[in-house]
Amino acid sequence: MITQSTYQKIYLPVFILFTFLLTLVILTASGSVPSLAESNVNPSNQPDSSTGPKQTGENSGRETVKDSSIGWITVDADEFDHIQNAVRNKGGEFDLKVAEKRGAFIVAEADERQILDLTRSMHEEFHKCGGFMWHETLAAAELSIDETSRAQTDKTAVVYSIDNQTTVNAMLTETQEPQIRETITRLSTDFPNRRHNQPSGTNSANWIKNKWTALAAGRSDVTVEFFVHSAAVTPQPSIIMTVQGTTLPNEVVVMGGHQDSINRNGATLNAPGADDDASGIATMTEVIRVMIAKNFRPQRTVKFMAYAAEEVGLRGSNEIAADFQTRAVNVVGVLQLDMTNYKSINSPADIILITDFTNASQNQFIRDLIMYYQPSITFGDSTCGYSCSDHASWTNKGFAASFPFESEPSNQTIHTTGDTLAQSGNNASHALKFANLAVSYLGELAKGTQGTTGLTYEADVQSRPTGDGFVDADDVEQIRRFVVGGGLPYQSNELQRADCSPRSTAGDGTVDADDIQQARRYSVGIDSNQLTGGPGSVPPPIDFSSDDLFGSLIGSLNLRGERTKRGGVPVIAALRADGQYTVAGQSLTVPIRVDAVGDEAGYSFSLNYDAEKLTNPQITIGTAGGNVIFNTNTAGQIGLSVTSFNGGKIVAGTNQILVYATFSTAAKAAGETIVTFTDTQARRKASGVDPNIQIMQPSYTNGTVRISPFKNFK
């Protein structure tokens, strides 16, 4: 028989032990006690004491990340096993759930806390960023491994050459260390935590977008946009600046770096990331600034990218690369800029070329660029393993990517509060070498030329009044406006530049449809740009005090015409205005018809009308034309330029409607009025693009409008 005192002796220790265990469970669940994996990294369980300024509303202490973003990661199997053993040897538990082993890789399920633990372990064991790729679904993870296994890293994507030295050297003289240093400073101090799912991660993305947009101001061929990722991927948007190519716009060159930062000891701790990767973004920003400052116009389209969420599995670049793959975008080269400003005193080389999961042919091109444009710096080769930076996303999707890295041994302060500019001597001298490499890569892979200002090329009339050293679609549009009277050449040599045809004589003293077509040829690279010359070097003085110069100058701008012959027989197109009936006070529409011989690229002409009877003229495109601009500023006259769709042809055929001219009639108007043609021209493309384009003068028939004062006039 057990007495009461015996029960008390047994139950009291049990009760105390139960209470202790229950308290421990509650504290662990609330985040007051770290996971075992975390305790191995920071046994003291104290907040990071070296935190700097923090964003408003963000905690600088440690806190457990909610398991709100469960996904699938792919990781090198050997590295995974190594980390697992290392954690267990320290008494911790590596709790990633392995779904399958697929060749040399493992697929595992992971949430945000586990990803933070893996990031920490990758840094401690292999001294590298990431080392894994995140995927939204298991199927996507399996597909990614298959694509990596199939990637042809020895495939040559494009013919590499170094033959654009004048343009590249001019840009290299412009790169500046203080500019790079300033951007690093701003990102690392104004946004000391740029983690992808923190408010400052979005704020810093806005800052980068605004910075790039400001740099690109005035360039109509440049756009800056957010790439908004799906909610499961990241709330942080990537930023993409697109510079439209001039002659090879469907071939794309990509230059990128990641914008996010991370502290391996906690999601909300400060992570200034001055080297990783404010330095890469700053290097790329300097390339953008130089490109704009030197008015570089690439032949191939160039896309600068600031990737979101690299530190948690290359999420931003992976989604972008997958999108480009799906849309079959012809990416001919990718350059990754991730950590460019730290150099160890023990490093034998200035630039390290990562050779695994990159393209061998493009890597050799990078080496050639260094030797040619920066012969004084040293370089070497190394490897960094699976998915160590965003270049892996592009390689995974079949694109040629290269990753020049800053130094070996690498910067040991990354992913901590210590990753500041001070680690690089408070300067950006090392990053300047990468900026120069990126400039040479831009100039020699995208090709293109540097623009100038002032007295430059035939047809270069935009931006007004001096031009910008290039002939593109903006110049074609402005010359069209000159032809129809929508503005007049007013700078001392602007008329001379607009008058670019015939090309052999650099113009003939008039601006007409002929010049529109020649400007088009310059803009698409059919004819090489030609320095300004020809008639009009010193044009006669013009009185610009008058608000209405169109009537006095349209004749001198648009008089010339001649017939072209085929087999000795004149071939003449015909324009005519339809006769119409209407009632005073009502509107009417006059179709302008064309009998086209065929292969006609466009027409330039004026319509004259009685402004006391017909008012409020409007022009809309008909079935035969493709594009029209018109000028209605002068009462009684409409200047028009009608061109074919996309530079093609207005096909042969009679009775086609070129444009519609719509008028209102005066309330007291009555009787007949005539719509007449003047200054009529057509441009001809005999077949495809004819280098000896002729001008022909179409015949024309005026239209009679009868206006009845009666409501029911027949």
Sign of CA dihedral 81, 87, 91, 95: negative
* Whole-number Cα distances in Å, 503 to 162, 247, 446, 480, 507: 31, 20, 28, 17, 6
CB atoms within 10 A of CB 648: 12
| Catalytic member of 117, 275, 286, 311 | 311
Mark 498-528 as b/e (b = at least 16 C-beta within 10 Å). bbbbbbeebbbbbbbbbbbbbbbbbbbeebe
| Catalytic member of 38, 415, 430, 468 | 415
| CB distance 147 to 263 below 8 Å | no
* Whole-number Cα distances in Å, 1 to 4, 11, 12, 324: 10, 16, 19, 81
| Catalytic member of 338, 460, 472, 514 | 338
Instruction: Label the pairing between strands 671-684 and 695-696.
Output: antiparallel
| CB distance 419 to 271 below 8 Å | yes
276 flagged as catalytic: yes
CA proximity to 373, closest of 161, 176, 159, 165: 165
CB atoms within 10 A of CB 313: 28
338 flagged as catalytic: yes
| CB distance 675 to 517 below 8 Å | no
The answer for residues whose C-beta is within 8 angstroms of residue 217's C-beta and 6 or more apart is: none
229 flagged as catalytic: no
196 flagged as catalytic: no
| Catalytic member of 79, 117, 310, 600 | 310
Q: How far apart are CA 49 and CA 677, in angstroms?
A: 82
3-state class of 304 per DSSP?
strand
CA proximity to 478, closest of 467, 469, 222: 467
Q: How far apart are CA 712 and CA 709, in angstroms?
A: 9
| Catalytic member of 123, 135, 196, 258 | 258
Which neighbouring-strand residues pair with 245? none
| Catalytic member of 276, 460, 499, 679 | 276
Catalytic residues: 258, 276, 310-311, 338, 415
